[in-house]
Structure 1
Amino acid sequence: MSKKTLTGANGAPIADNQNSRTAGPRGPVLIDDFNLIEKLAHFNRENIPERRVHAKGAGAHGTFVVTKDITQYTNANLFNTIGKKTPMLARFSTVGGERGSADTARDPRGFSLKFYTEEGNWDIVGNNTPVFFIRDAIKFPDFIHTQKRYPKSNLKDSGMMWDFFSLSPEALHQVTILFSDRGIPDGFRFMHGYGSHTYSLINKDGVRTWVKWHYRTQQGIKNLDPEKAGELAGSNPDYATEDLFNAIEKGDYPKWGVYIQVMTEEQAKNYKENPFDVTKVWSQKEFPLHEVGYFELNRNPENYFAEVEQAAFAPSNVVPGTGLSPDKMLQGRVFAYADAQRYRIGTNYQQLPINAPKCPYANYQRDGAMRLDQNGGGSPNYEPNSYENAPKQTNKPEPLFPVDLSGAAGQYDHRTDSDYYSQPAALFKLMNAEQKELLISNLAASMQGVKQEILERVLAHFVKIDPEYGQGIAKKLNIKLN
């Protein structure tokens, strides 16, 4: 096997990679040592800014396989044939922690999927929970700030979180899930995933259907006891990352069944609840799951940075036959995610191999840092133009399919829908005594040290969900509620 020659980034061979150029054996170091300067300058820039949320995560490559015909709902190519396979990438993550934080934190898990379809890349950026804490993207920076560090102490502060939740009762459904026995998954393989938002599918006749995406683990549900999770946070903070990598490495490929709930536009108009409110679920009795297929994760990245850290997911990546919805949180994410990638990785982030589509692509984007392709070559950089071989629009309405709008432009109070309690109440009633006790204990532990006025305010909400729920937490905190 022939030896590879060490070169600089420009391809020129390097004769000595052990010693800096100095003025004599004792120095000083000379600034014209371009190998030293390049080496140190590159090292200084090896860390791109971490994700503001979902910074700690793991990913793997896989394959999505269609098992049922859903062409009545969509003409997207990846669904057009039973048995069809599409390459994909999955990334799992915690939400609030930094890159060095523990995999076993009590936190929702990001569940992001990228499908490399024949018509472009399609991303579903969801979580392991079917709902979220807030309804409107204008509150997202506020919510995330409560999950980060207190500006004065630079410490995590549960008082910020409970202050925000006590004043944002739409979060109670997600809070109940987060502090339940499913709040700390035992690794990434043993949890369900959800698109969480309402999305849409569009068929060949231009008929749109609203859908919710569900990914059901075929490994079974497994969760960690809080005490065990705390031990692992100290002994093996990369517990879930290690578990996923080792399982795939030894050929134990994890799988998830893919399902949708479907709702017609007419049903949505007349539904008792806002079907585009991400703090609420659709009843599976009224809107049962329909099987679509499954995906299997069967290949680990060769290089974590190139294939996971640089992986860029965004709900703005839609393809013909798929689409968005009026969900306020989703619409905010359509801008925010792609914009975060432009900041984090660079304006040409979609040209990186892990993000580039597998199908041919052509556009009028030009220039910018880290341009990886031919930058359009000698073709025009404006449109419309009269060049025969320049890219032209399709004139099809997909995937930005027309949406009926109504009402005057303005800022509408989303809290006019004050039903914060019925869905978490239904979830609480489904729990057995042991699950209720664990939920109440977890919440009480999280509230230790929080100001009395905040506790009284938030406990009043839990009592409205269910008196047993609120009073149970109050009892553990030695608080007497009226």
Structure 2
Amino acid sequence: MTQGPLTTETGAPVADNQNSETAGVGGPVLVQDQLLLEKLAHFNRERIPERVVHARGAGAYGTFTVTADVTKYTRAKFLSEVGKQTETFLRFSTVAGNLGAADAVRDPRGFALKFYTEEGNYDLVGNNTPVFFIKDAIKFPDFIHTQKRDPYTGSTEMDNVWDFWSLSPESTHQVTWLFGDRGIPASYRHMDGFGSHTYQWNNEAGEAFWVKYHFKTDQGIKTLTQAEADKLAGEDPDSHQRDLRQAIERGEFPSWTVGVQIMPVAEAAKYRFNPFDLTKVWPHADYPVIEFGKLELNRNPENVFAEVEQSIFSPAHFVPGIGPSPDKMLQGRLFAYGDAHRYRVGINADHLPVNRPHATEARTNSRDGYLYDGRHKGAKNYEPNSFGGPFQTDKALWQPVAVSGVTGETEAPSHAEDNDFVQAGNLYRLMTDEEKERLINNLAGALSGVSRDDIIERAVNNFRQADGDFGKRLEAAVQALRG
């Protein structure tokens, strides 16, 4: 902003910004004081609806650099040659807390990454965990309702949280992640990121592959114990946001090594786990992570509201060479994220600087609506037209997927080793004795706040089915806390 006289929103100079206009000394305020009315009216409208989930966040700009050739798997231009760089914006977040919540809490972390590519923006909207609590988007509103404030008590209720989890055995794997050591990262810089879902890559020859993204922190994993997090959340609710901003200000640019697991499409049908189940991982022994890039964050936003709160991400924002999979959670998110932003920020949210393409131009026939900027000028708003308007390419962004059967409300297909507990048990057995002890203590501390014995027993039984020792130790720990 240039230096000079303070002005109204329309540019008129302000004579007095300390005193409102009155009818005589000590008299009532006049409605003709338009500066007063303008300031109060704007102040009343400074907030937009916060995100229902992922409301509490921080972000930074950065650079993605290709470090290995992946052109035999994808035709995406931003991945077309080693050394190629693409501008990015990454928004971190917690999931359940509102905009004013503390950063240091036990909660998954959002890892939403926007690539400003020459073929349009590509959004990869993931988390710091490779799995999630549920596998079908139809359950998502119910799940989030359990994590938010109860409509009667106005508080988060452990009865609600554990009632849902205990009745949804598919959540056992993610809950084991959440209550383990990585459930509370020490900062946004010291955690991994994942695309979580399965996506499609496709190459110039039309071959398709299923992929999972991994972002391994180069700063190393650092976490907080529950006691450390409780103390930090009370002393410095903005701890993670401040840490990220100050690290970049110091020139200590955080980075992640980016890799991908790749599964040929033909192998998906007979793979031992359903490869599109968001509650499952692909074991690295089956599909090792192939490193192909480096992500660095190196520039802070200049205005948190304009660039972090108004930033929008949608897993439906693809570019040629990348597409969706039949993952039922992903399919629901393809609609839900864009719809949330159209409600929350507005139909023209993609016109904002943080959201619009930086390396190309958006050419659409969409017009009007709140905050429309007139970018199209006098161009025609229909297609096809003979006035030089934009035209279709006749080349799909991703390859088609074969389907068969009849329509209906169906569960995802079950594969040879699919069940809700096997991978949770595998995760538990990978832990050291010390890690297991902390996991048990964290879970027991949360479960001991549940009022109903039947909910506790259902929850413990899920962990018992994952691993007998897991369930036995958890049952004893809960009983000890409840007396």
Give yes or no for TM over 0.5. yes
Find the counterpart in structure 2 of residue 121 from structure 1: 121
**DSSP-derived class of the 1:343 partner:** helix
- Contact preservation (8 Å) 2:196, 2:213: yes
What's the % identity of the aligned pairs?
53
Which letter does structure 1 place at the counterpart of 2:407? A
- For residue 410 of structure 1, the aligned residue among 395, 398, 408 is 408
**DSSP-derived class of the 1:477 partner:** helix
Deviates more, 1:118-127 or 1:460-469: 460-469
Q: 2: distance between equivalents of 1:9 and 1:150?
A: 41
CA gap of 1:444–1:10, structure 2 versus 1, over 3 A, is same
- Contact preservation (8 Å) 2:66, 2:294: yes
Find the counterpart in structure 2 of residue 302 from structure 1: 302
Q: 1: distance between equivalents of 2:15 and 2:480?
A: 73
Give the length in aligned residue pairs. 477
Q: 1: distance between equivalents of 2:137 and 2:414?
A: 17
Q: 2: distance between equivalents of 1:340 and 1:63?
A: 27
Give the Å deviation of 1:384. Answer: 2.5
Is 1:392 the equivalent of 2:391?
yes
- Contact preservation (8 Å) 1:351, 1:373: no
Give the Å deviation of 1:414. Answer: 4.5
Q: 1: distance between equivalents of 2:120 and 2:254?
A: 25
**DSSP-derived class of the 1:161 partner:** helix
Find the counterpart in structure 2 of residue 459 from structure 1: 460
- What does 1:221-236 align with in structure 2 at a 5 Å threshold? 221-236=221-236
Is 1:332 the equivalent of 2:343?
no
**DSSP-derived class of the 1:427 partner:** helix
Find the counterpart in structure 1 of residue 367 from structure 2: 366
- Contact preservation (8 Å) 2:149, 2:156: yes
Deviations 1:195-224 (A, max 9, x none): 000011111111111100000000001100
Deviations 1:331-355 (A, max 9, x none): 1011100111111111100000000
Deviates more, 1:401-410 or 1:101-110: 401-410
Give the Å deviation of 1:274. Answer: 1.1
Q: 2: distance between equivalents of 1:79 and 1:5?
A: 48
Deviates more, 1:456-465 or 1:115-124: 456-465
- Contact preservation (8 Å) 1:352, 1:372: no
Give the Å deviation of 1:415. Answer: 9.1
- Contact preservation (8 Å) 2:198, 2:325: yes
- What does 1:286-301 align with in structure 2 at a 5 Å threshold? 286-301=286-301
Give the Å deviation of 1:469. Answer: 0.7
Is 1:139 the equivalent of 2:139?
yes
Q: 1: distance between equivalents of 2:208 and 2:449?
A: 50
Which letter does structure 2 place at the counterpart of 1:192? D
Q: 2: distance between equivalents of 1:300 and 1:66?
A: 22
Give the Å deviation of 1:23. Answer: 1.4
Which letter does structure 1 place at the counterpart of 2:342? R
Q: 2: distance between equivalents of 1:70 and 1:2?
A: 46
Give the Å deviation of 1:14. Answer: 2.0
Query: RMSD of the alignment, in Å?
Result: 1.6
Which letter does structure 2 place at the counterpart of 1:298? N
Find the counterpart in structure 2 of residue 243 from structure 1: 243
Find the counterpart in structure 2 of residue 449 from structure 1: 449
Deviations 1:162-184 (A, max 9, x none): 00011100000000000001110
Find the counterpart in structure 2 of residue 269 from structure 1: 269
- Contact preservation (8 Å) 2:274, 2:413: no
CA gap of 1:173–1:2, structure 2 versus 1, over 3 A, is closer
Find the counterpart in structure 2 of residue 35 from structure 1: 35
**DSSP-derived class of the 1:478 partner:** helix
Which letter does structure 2 place at the counterpart of 1:406? S
Q: 2: distance between equivalents of 1:194 and 1:185?
A: 14
Find the counterpart in structure 2 of residue 381 from structure 1: 381
Instruction: Structure 2: state its 5+ residue gaps.
Output: none
Q: 2: distance between equivalents of 1:206 and 1:4?
A: 59
Which letter does structure 2 place at the counterpart of 1:405? V
